Amino acid sequence: MILFGHLVVLVVTLGLVCRVALALFTPVFYAPDEQSHFACIKYIYENRGFPTQTSKTGAPTNDWEYYQPPLYYVASLPLFWGLSYLGASTRFKRLPLHAVGFFAGYVLSFTNLSLAMSTRI
């Protein structure tokens, strides 16, 4: 019989492997809004301030995600800075988009799992 804890570890590990594979093997800027999210992180990194939304969704300038709450972008800055410092290509500089999302997803998952486990009879 598989213990519940082993099942949780298996599911989390499979989820992590799938997320890493998605981040590494998806073509750069394949998602329709990835380039605009990347542009926001890059703007904050280069200008040391938050951008102002001036264009509409779908504009060719790819700056139409500037209205989003800044926590996600600020959390991405240290990894973006490190990759920039190392001279990484754009393919790897976009990884903060995925890394912050992964971290947030796992924090929420573990929080929900902890709450579910504490209410088990």
Looking at the whole model, is its pTM more than 0.95? no
What pLDDT does residue 32 have?
A: 76
DSSP state of 66: T
| Residue-wise pLDDT tens digits, 71-102 | 888 888 888 888 888 887 776 777 666 666 66
Distance CA 56, CA 50 (A): 17
Candidates 80, 86, 36; CA nearest to 59 is 36
CB of 33 closer than 8 Å to CB of 1:
no
What number of CA atoms fall less than 13 Å from residue 79's CA on the CB side?
Answer: 19
Report the C-alpha gap between 49 and 61 in whole angstroms: 19
Residues of the chain with pLDDT under 70: 1-2, 91, 95-106, 108-110, 113, 117-121
Domain, as residue range, for 31: 4-118
Which H or E element spans position 76? helix 71-85
- Number of domains, the chain: 1
User: Do residues 12 and 109 touch, judged by C-beta distance below 8 A?
Assistant: yes
